[in-house]
Amino acid sequence: MPSFIKERLHKGYAQSMELSGKPLVDEKSQYQRIKIFDTVANGRVMTLDDIVQITTRDESAYAEMLTHLPLLEHGKAQRVMVVGGGDLSIADEALKHKGVKEVVLVDIDGQVVERCREHFAEINAKAFKDKRLTIEIADAFEYLGRPASKGRFDLIVADRPDPVGPGKALFGETFYDRVRNALKPGGFATFQTGVPFYQPWEITDALKELAEFFPQSGLYLTVVPSYIGGFMALSWAGKGKRLGTPAGLKRAAAAYKRAKLKTDYYNPAIHAACFALPEWIKRLVP
Amino acid sequence: MPSFIKERLHKGYAQSMELSGKPLVDEKSQYQRIKIFDTVANGRVMTLDDIVQITTRDESAYAEMLTHLPLLEHGKAQRVMVVGGGDLSIADEALKHKGVKEVVLVDIDGQVVERCREHFAEINAKAFKDKRLTIEIADAFEYLGRPASKGRFDLIVADRPDPVGPGKALFGETFYDRVRNALKPGGFATFQTGVPFYQPWEITDALKELAEFFPQSGLYLTVVPSYIGGFMALSWAGKGKRLGTPAGLKRAAAAYKRAKLKTDYYNPAIHAACFALPEWIKRLVP
């Protein structure tokens, strides 16, 4: 009899993925229940507290859009921080940029990082070997508040989980204030901002708060099938230029070509298109 | 105990929607099992043979993109045919264009049309009263082959179900040949072309066949959360201009403004953006 893993993140809705074998990991860390398993339709999958975090089939749609988009527009980013991101998918994309000298990944759960090292080598084997990567097992919220973090990063990617469990501190005003403090002038931050079809309030809350703390901010979209609900909202904030201006798009397209990036989702046309919002999403923007 | 409807369209994957009351319709027609029910998260839903056909929460992402996009670029369309579409959502969008003089909807299952009239008034009450609409309970494939259909339509929208059950004849070369014959010079046809994440072959098959029968054809994307899997592929074919050229986008944007269309998904920015394909979808294009 086939065995299914069911995700019930949203009220009144569930998705189920059929396992193609026995679970590879099923254990409790200090913070959460970690499961890793192979599926019939979605590749290898990790859930935390039974919520899908990453699948090998669609992680590119998430990691590439949070990373390449600001890095290519920035053009000169050297220091990147990843908030969370224990599977290293974001770090892996950032390290593809030769100009990047340092990626600091701060995840609270060392056990997630270890299990992902063992079972997601397809995504992160290269990153684990890269000397530019530092992994800090720490509370990213606390890390951002350290004096040493002040003005240190050109890009901060908030690969935060849903605003439940240990990820709760990575939403809200104090978090955005700390991100701003840790950014260099001209730097960008990008944030996972929920699936608007089932979590519409996340856009409204995040954009309202970002506008309070940053001179520039906005919304863009990606589509990650296993983050169920169609579009996923990503938000950005910055201390210098806006993202997505004609000049920024032109700069990014040239940088993409020069860097010979191999991507599965991102390309310059998608970069230009991702700022277009359907009417129903536009109405959620405060 | 809450009751769920489970859809198992794709191998190894399922989605479940929680009902918020007893099913409104659960009956077998000559062709298929029709269910209509209200849900906690997805509005009112109709399934045919347990496959989601329409939900009130996201039908706009589908119907508007198949309809407004070609009609606004065409500019002078008068006669529209809907292949299938018994819920009238496509017909309703087409009838919002004042220049449209006739919409012929051809659905094989009169029982679907009747149940949708009773239970989806929110979407179709206006269309049912519109004298420009003709509903033909017939096989659309056969209808397209009638001598009277030759060269008759400016737009044909193939609101076809998945290529299983009674919808099978609405895929494949003979179908595309008949659509071409029924189009006026300068006319467009648009086609539901599957969810590429779970049905990647649909894009490859459709685009190869369309290129054989039409001087112009191509792909564009929408996102309909309940058509599970992220992006939904729509394809288009035409006997005159290409869709999505800078001139076409400009013409459409002006027409949209003039027509004062009220939309939930479509807008000129989305129109321009929907032709951008992520790398993994680009690779499916033959």
Q: A41 — contact with chain B (CB < 8 Å)?
A: yes
Pick from B283, B278, B284: nearest CA to B199? B284
**Do the Cβ atoms of B278 and A61 come within 8 Å?**
yes
Q: What is the mean pLDDT of residues A121-131?
A: 98
Residue A27 in contact with residue A118, Cβ under 8 Å?
Answer: no
**Do the Cβ atoms of B39 and A228 come within 8 Å?**
no
CATH label of the domain that carries residue B112: 3.40.50.150
pLDDT reported for residue B172:
83
pLDDT reported for residue A173:
84
Q: Are residues B125 and B23 in the same domain?
A: no
pLDDT reported for residue A1:
62
Task: Kindly state the tokens that stand for B193.
Answer: 């072309």
Q: Are residues B36 and B71 in the same domain?
A: no
Instruction: Compare all CA atoms of chain B with the CA of A16 and give the residue at the minimum distance.
Output: B14
CATH label of the domain that carries residue B38: 2.30.140.10
Q: Are residues A37 and A157 in the same domain?
A: no
CA distance B169 to B165: 9
CA distance B220 to B65: 9
Please calculate the CA angle B215-B219-B220 and round it to the nearest 5 degrees: 135
Q: Are residues B133 and B159 in the same domain?
A: yes
**Do the Cβ atoms of B10 and A266 come within 8 Å?**
no
CA distance A20 to A22: 7
CA distance B135 to B224: 26
Q: Are residues B51 and B65 in the same domain?
A: no
Pick from A194, A233, A263, A236: nearest CA to A70? A236
CA distance B115 to B107: 13
Is beta strand B183-192 parallel, antiparallel or unpaired with respect to B153-159? parallel
Q: What is the mean pLDDT of residues A212-227?
A: 97
pLDDT reported for residue A163:
81
pLDDT reported for residue B1:
62
Q: A224 — contact with chain B (CB < 8 Å)?
A: yes
Task: Kindly state the tokens that stand for A262.
Answer: 């191999």
**Higher pLDDT pick, B101 / A168:** B101
Q: Are residues A228 and A87 in the same domain?
A: yes
Q: Are residues A119 and A9 in the same domain?
A: no
Q: Are residues A72 and A46 in the same domain?
A: no
| Contacts of range B218-221, beta carbons closer than 8 Å, 24 or more positions apart | B218/B242, B218/B243, B218/B244, B218/B275, B219/B193, B219/B275, B219/B277, B219/B281, B219/B285, B220/B65, B220/B69, B220/B244, B220/B274, B220/B275, B221/B274, B221/B275, B221/B276, B221/B277, B221/B281
Residue of A17, A39, A279, A280 to mutate for B, most B C-beta atoms under 10 A: A279
Q: A144 — contact with chain B (CB < 8 Å)?
A: no
Q: Give kind and range of the element (H or E) at residue A13.
A: strand A13-18
Q: What is the mean pLDDT of residues A71-97?
A: 98
Q: Are residues A45 and A168 in the same domain?
A: no
- With a cut of 80, say whether residue A87 has pLDDT above it: yes
Helix/strand/coil percent split, chain B, to 5 = 35, 30, 35
Instruction: Compare all CA atoms of chain A with the CA of B13 and give the residue at the minimum distance.
Output: A17
Structural domain boundaries, residue A15: 4-55
B228 vs A contacts (CB less than 8 Å): 15, 225, 228
CA distance B259 to B85: 24
Is beta strand A153-159 parallel, antiparallel or unpaired with respect to A231-238? unpaired
Q: A267 — contact with chain B (CB < 8 Å)?
A: yes
Q: Kindly provide the residue ranges of all beta strands, DSSP E only, lying in chain B, ordered along the sequence.
A: 4-7, 13-18, 25-28, 33-38, 44-48, 51-55, 79-84, 102-107, 133-137, 153-159, 183-192, 216-223, 231-238
Residue B63 Ramachandran class (φ > 0 left, ψ -120 to 50 alpha, else beta): alpha
Q: A18 — contact with chain B (CB < 8 Å)?
A: yes
CA distance B210 to B200: 16
Please give the C-alpha separations between residue B148 and each of A211, A238, B133, B239, B240, in angstroms, as whole numbers.
60, 61, 17, 19, 22
Task: Kindly state the tokens that stand for A36.
Answer: 């890793």
Number of domains making up chain A: 2
**Residue among A41, A230, A273 minimizing CB distance to B276:** A273
Residue A115 in contact with residue A150, Cβ under 8 Å?
Answer: no
Helix/strand/coil percent split, chain A, to 5 = 35, 30, 35
pLDDT reported for residue A168:
80
Residue A168 in contact with residue A199, Cβ under 8 Å?
Answer: no
**Do the Cβ atoms of A273 and B278 come within 8 Å?**
no
Beta-carbon count within 10 A of A9 CB: 19
Residue of A1, A3, A7, A13 to mutate for B, most B C-beta atoms under 10 A: A13
Residue type, position B270, single letter: I
**Residue among B17, B229, B269 minimizing CB distance to A12:** B17
The helix-helix angle for B200-213 and B173-182 (nearest 10°) equals 50
Pick from B275, B216, B206, B205: nearest CA to B242? B216
* Residue positions of A annotated with a catalytic role: 159
Q: ipTM more than 0.85? A: yes
Q: Over chain B (286 residues), what is each successive 10-residue block's mean pLDDT? A: 89 97 96 97 97 98 98 98 98 98 98 98 98 97 97 97 78 92 97 97 95 97 98 96 97 96 97 98 97
- With a cut of 80, say whether residue A59 has pLDDT above it: yes
Q: How far is A270 from chain B (nearest CA, A)?
A: 6
Q: For tokens 């290519």, name the residue.
A: A72
- The 10s digit of each residue's pLDDT in A176-192 is 999 999 999 999 999 99
pLDDT reported for residue A210:
96
Q: How far is A141 from chain B (nearest CA, A)?
A: 31
Task: Kindly state the tokens that stand for B124.
Answer: 């179709």
A279 vs B contacts (CB less than 8 Å): 263-267, 270
CA distance A217 to A237: 4
Residue B142 pairs with which residues in a beta bridge?
Answer: none
Rg value, chain B, Cα: 18
Please give the C-alpha separations between residue B86 and each of B53, B114, B132, B135, in angstroms, as whole numbers.
10, 8, 16, 9
Q: Are residues B127 and B179 in the same domain?
A: yes
**Residue among A14, A230, A269 minimizing CB distance to B224:** A230
Q: How far is B111 from chain A (nearest CA, A)?
A: 28
Q: Are residues B17 and B146 in the same domain?
A: no
- With a cut of 90, say whether residue A279 has pLDDT above it: yes
CA distance A80 to A102: 6
- With a cut of 90, say whether residue A276 has pLDDT above it: yes
Instruction: Compare all CA atoms of chain A with the CA of B195 and give the residue at the minimum distance.
Output: A225
Q: Are residues B253 and B182 in the same domain?
A: yes
